[in-house]
Amino acid sequence: LRVVHRPLMDLLDQKFFISIPYQECKLRRSTRNYTVPDPPGLFDAHVWPMYLKNRAQMNVLDANIVHLDGRSSRESLFTEVFNAVQERLNTLL
């Protein structure tokens, strides 16, 4: 199973990956409210292993990925990405 689609990665000027520790991710996932809840064991059997696989593949495919701390606030993450995109645009103008 290929998680990262290389042709898509090649089209992106900037790439960001939000990293989060296992315990924090599991806690957030367990507190989400969906019509159909996750079956028991889904996180450990599928969700977390796919996150790790995706992160590893992206690191192998492209060293130019900016890793963001998923424990930061949404506002902080938005600001960091916004500023990086703005800086990139300024270099193109």
**Where are the chain's structural domains?**
6-92
pLDDT reported for residue 79:
98
pLDDT for the residue numbered 42: 95
**Taking residues 65-79, what's their average pLDDT?**
95
The more confidently predicted of residues 90 and 11 is 90
Q: Which residues of 53-70 are buried (b: 16+ CB within 10 A; e: fewer)?
A: eebebbeeeeeebeebee
Q: Work out the average pLDDT over 40-68.
A: 88
**From CA 61, how far away is CA 10, in angstroms rounded?**
10
**Amino acid identity at 16:** F
Q: Write the CATH number of the domain with boundaries 6-92.
A: 3.40.50.300
CB 16 within 8 A of CB 68: yes
Name residue 78's amino acid: F
